[in-house]
Amino acid sequence: MAMEQKNRDFAGDQWETGAGEGSVLMEDVLIEGTVRTSSPVRLMGRIKGDLLAESRVVVSGSVEGDVSGCEILLSSASIHGDVKTAGSIQMDWETEVTGDLSAQRIEMSGSVEGNLQVEKTLLMGGTASVQGDISAGAVSIAEGAALKGRLEVRGLAEEPEPLRQGEREPVEDEESPVETAPETGGSEE
């Protein structure tokens, strides 16, 4: 019960406990081999193999392999492998990862021994530590966080504003369709 409450406190109600929605692998579960699922999964036990989900993944146990899903929450987790998502990764201060992280957005307070590839924003809390290289669009590092490695901040690419009804795309490098009046100089009679 305490772990369930802690995970809810960490991420709010958006991370359901899994009851009635996907799979829950309890503390006493040990799986040797790859776990594949299209449903949300919550791991409180251990996996010696990869955890590959097409949906949300919550890990508060341990994985000796890669983890992937559309959104990933790591709370009191131990991961020895890469963690990849097209969405976001959230990591609490009790989580340790030995492997690379790849995501659109990462919010972390735990420790990583590996490289981070972040398309958009990396938020490092005061207890976060990274031993490896970081490449991100934008970075926020709180006082107390530690980094041993290279840091590349690319900047966030501006996305064009959507066109309003009736507007046309601007055209670059074309001559203006506006006709000009002929030059009038002095009169030659």
Convert 82-118 to b/e letters by CB count within 10 Å (16 or more is b). bbbbeebbbbbbbbbbebbbbbebbbbbbbbebbbbb
Q: Is residue 175 domain-resident?
A: no
Whether residue 80 contacts residue 96, with contact meaning beta carbons closer than 8 Å, is answered with no
Q: Is residue 99 domain-resident?
A: yes
The one-letter amino acid code at 5 reads Q
Q: Read off the pTM.
A: 0.73
Q: Tokens for 128?
A: 């976060």
Q: Is residue 170 domain-resident?
A: no
Place of tokens 């406190």: 9
Q: What is the pLDDT along the chain (189 residues), one digit of tens a residue?
A: 344 433 333 343 344 444 447 889 999 999 999 999 999 999 999 999 999 999 999 999 999 999 999 999 999 999 999 999 999 999 999 999 999 999 999 999 999 999 999 999 999 999 999 999 999 999 999 999 999 999 999 988 766 566 666 666 555 554 544 444 555 555 554
What residues form DSSP beta bridges with 96? 78, 111
Domain span at residue 94?
2-14+46-153
Q: Is residue 51 domain-resident?
A: yes
Question: Given this model, what pLDDT does residue 89 score?
Answer: 98
Question: Given this model, what pLDDT does residue 2 score?
Answer: 40
Q: Is residue 35 domain-resident?
A: no
